[in-house]
């Protein structure tokens, strides 16, 4: 995970739901450091 | 100001205004007191979001993925995926509003992503995979953090002590009437009511303003306070109907502690100070009285009435008091006392003529805080002479921690010096997020 002040970036699987169907992609998303 | 407007009703749009001027907006991270300031370093050009799709003929609300291509305060210029390098459909969107979400939000909330009707793609899955894998999105808790930071420790009915706008040397008891984005509308307890029940005198300031204090503050620091006229009945106004709650010190911002020993400010010492009634002027001034807890009363030389009613209270850590020579050293025109010529005025001669001494430089808070503002940046700023108004403004000069703000469309005589950490300045888009009315620039753009 890459860090910035007070938070951390994590690779996350996120769902994409289009009219043609659903699939997942891996993206960077940040959240509070715990 | 001759009139008050609502920027939205007047057709003002920050996005097109910035594009026409070619100027930048001050980033959210410059404003320590605003929502999401701490999170804003995770917001940058290239982020992917899910946003309302305005390019569809579908009757229901649908969303599509977009990329941040430019940032201006809270506002982001977004480009829908599929438009590639075509910027004709770019849209400005406020990242603090509800219809911008992290990638994945639509799937979780069972809302299908529908591309704009102008873009055609054979295989959206492959296209989006290529665009999204490894990209960044806004934090999952973005809107939660926004809501958290908009919470305010003040509510209607809380009593405070605030500067008396009719006599700036004293405070006056007031009651919180309205809270918008941390800005308080305060009603003086004995202001009186007009024929329609309207309060005849109010005051707006941010809850972190140095002008507002807890009940008992004036007595604590030996500041003058107006005795409330108990013959004035405000009872029919909603803010006065409920049982009032006195504010306490914990509800206010703590100021920097200053040492008030033998080397502190003394009565008669000369300084330079922002004129509280002409905030674009930095004047020759004197310490008139030393209060407790690091506060001093300041008078502007040569224009004082003589009874002390125009003295103004500044804390020793305030940006608004400056050491002798500050203006000269920073190429700022010093407003000199009547009878003196700005071109020939010199401090050594003036000190000799008045038999006074300059306050020692070490007593002033001139720390360089590395604020990030630069001249030309746009922002939303309170007109401190009419503090209910938040206006479209431009940073005209930066001198240390001081910013000279210009109100767009207004004459330079309305310019005001503020501290870079003033709670009365906000990023572009702040009014839209909080629901505060923004004053657009006047005159032709």
* Nearest chain B CA: its distance from A8 CA (Å): 9
Closest CB from A15, A16, A19 relative to B114: A19
pLDDT at res. B377: 97
How far from B437 is each of B152, B176, B198, B359, B429, CA to CA, in Å? 19, 19, 20, 41, 11
* Nearest chain B CA: its distance from A6 CA (Å): 8
CB pairs under 8 A between A and B: 82
Looking at the DSSP assignment, which residues form a beta bridge with residue B417?
A: B404
Closest by Cα among A27, A34, A33 to A6:
A33
pLDDT at res. B129: 92
B55 touches chain A (CB under 8 A): no
**What are the φ and ψ backbone dihedral angles of B403, each rounded to 5 degrees?**
-120, 135
- Segments of chain B scoring below 70 in pLDDT: 1-3, 243, 444-445
Q: How many CB atoms lie within 10 A of CB A20?
A: 12
Q: pLDDT by residue (tens digit) across B252-302? A: 988 888 888 889 999 999 999 999 999 999 999 999 999 999 999 999 999
pLDDT at res. A7: 64
Q: pLDDT by residue (tens digit) across B202-218? A: 999 999 999 999 999 99
B42 touches chain A (CB under 8 A): yes
pLDDT at res. B3: 65
Q: Average pLDDT of chain A? A: 76
**What are the φ and ψ backbone dihedral angles of B101, each rounded to 5 degrees?**
-135, 160
pLDDT at res. B368: 76
Closest CB from A9, A12, A16 relative to B113: A16
**CA B42 from chain center: how many Å?**
23
Tokens of B445: 């753009």
ipTM for the predicted complex comes to 0.83
pLDDT at A32 over 90: no
**CA B384 from chain center: how many Å?**
10
Closest by Cα among B308, B309, B324, B230 to B273:
B324
Contact between B369 and B317 (Cβ < 8 Å)? no
End-to-end CA distance of chain A: 13
Closest CB from B107, B134, B141 relative to A15: B107
Q: Which residue of A has its CA nearest to B125?
A: A23
Strands B183-188 and B167-180, sheet pairing? antiparallel
Contacts of B134 in chain A (CB under 8 A): 26-28
pLDDT at A34 over 50: no
pLDDT at res. B445: 47
pLDDT at A4 over 70: no
**CA B210 from chain center: how many Å?**
12
pLDDT at res. B256: 84
Q: Which residue has the tokens 């504010």?
A: B247
B124 touches chain A (CB under 8 A): yes
**CA B265 from chain center: how many Å?**
29
Q: How many CB atoms lie within 10 A of CB B61?
A: 11
**What are the φ and ψ backbone dihedral angles of B14, each rounded to 5 degrees?**
-60, -40
* Cα–Cα dist B290/B172, whole Å: 20
Closest CB from A6, A20, A26 relative to B124: A20
Contact between B113 and B51 (Cβ < 8 Å)? no
C-beta atoms of A7 and B134 within 8 A = no
A34 touches chain B (CB under 8 A): no
Residue length of chain B: 445
Burial of B86-113, coded b for 16+ CB within 10 Å and e otherwise, reads eeebbebbbbbbeebbbbbbbbeeebbb
pLDDT at res. B444: 57
* Nearest chain B CA: its distance from A24 CA (Å): 8
pLDDT at A31 over 80: no
Q: Which segments within A1-34 are labelled E, that is strand?
A: 2-4, 7-18, 21-32
- Name every residue whose Cβ is closer than 8 Å to that of residue B332 and which is 6 or more positions away in sequence: B282, B326, B399
């Amino acid at each position: 995970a890459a860090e910035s002040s007070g938070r951390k970036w994590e690779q996350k699987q996120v769902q994409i739901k289009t009219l043609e169907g659903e699939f997942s992609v891996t993206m960077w998303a940040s959240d509070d450091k715990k | 100001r001759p009139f008050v407007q609502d920027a939205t009703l007047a057709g003002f749009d920050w996005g097109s205004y910035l594009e026409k001027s070619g100027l930048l907006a001050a980033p959210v991270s410059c404003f320590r007191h605003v929502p999401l300031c701490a999170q804003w370093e995770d917001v940058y050009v290239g982020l992917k979001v899910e946003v309302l799709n305005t390019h569809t003929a579908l009757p229901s609300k649908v969303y599509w993925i977009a990329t941040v291509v430019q940032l201006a305060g809270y506002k982001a210029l977004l480009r829908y995926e599929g438009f590639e390098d075509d910027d004709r459909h770019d849209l400005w969107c406020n990242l603090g509003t509800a219809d911008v979400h992290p990638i994945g939000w639509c799937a979780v909330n069972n809302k299908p992503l529908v591309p704009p009707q102008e873009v055609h793609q054979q295989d959206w899955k492959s296209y989006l995979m290529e665009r999204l894998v490894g990209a960044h999105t806004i934090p999952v808790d973005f809107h939660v953090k926004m809501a958290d930071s908009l919470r305010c420790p003040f509510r209607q009915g809380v009593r405070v002590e605030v500067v008396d706008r009719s006599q700036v040397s004293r405070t006056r008891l007031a009651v919180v009437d309205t809270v918008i984005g941390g800005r308080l509308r305060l009603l003086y307890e004995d202001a009186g009511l007009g024929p329609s029940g309207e309060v005849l005198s109010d005051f707006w300031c941010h809850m972190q303003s140095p002008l507002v204090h807890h009940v008992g503050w004036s007595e604590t620091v030996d500041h003058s306070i107006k005795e409330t006229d108990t013959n004035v009945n405000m009872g029919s106004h909603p803010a006065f109907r409920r049982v009032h709650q006195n504010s306490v010190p914990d509800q206010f911002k703590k100021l920097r502690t200053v040492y008030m020993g033998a080397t502190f400010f003394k009565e008669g010492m000369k300084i330079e100070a922002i004129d509280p009634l002409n905030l674009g002027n930095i004047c020759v001034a004197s310490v008139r009285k030393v209060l407790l807890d690091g506060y001093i009363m300041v008078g502007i030389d040569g224009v004082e009435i003589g009874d002390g009613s125009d003295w103004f209270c500044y804390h020793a850590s305030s940006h608004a008091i400056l050491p002798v020579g500050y203006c000269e050293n920073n190429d700022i025109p010093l407003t000199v006392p009547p009878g003196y010529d700005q071109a020939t005025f010199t401090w050594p001669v003036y000190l000799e003529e008045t038999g006074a001494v300059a306050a020692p430089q070490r007593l002033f808070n001139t720390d360089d805080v590395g604020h990030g503002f630069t001249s030309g940046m746009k922002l939303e700023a309170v007109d401190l002479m009419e503090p209910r108004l938040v206006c479209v403004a431009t940073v005209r000069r930066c001198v240390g921690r001081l910013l000279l703000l210009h109100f767009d469309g207004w004459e330079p005589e309305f310019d005001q010096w503020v501290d870079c950490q003033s709670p009365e300045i906000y990023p572009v888009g702040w009014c839209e997020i909080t629901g505060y009315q923004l004053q657009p620039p006047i005159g032709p753009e």
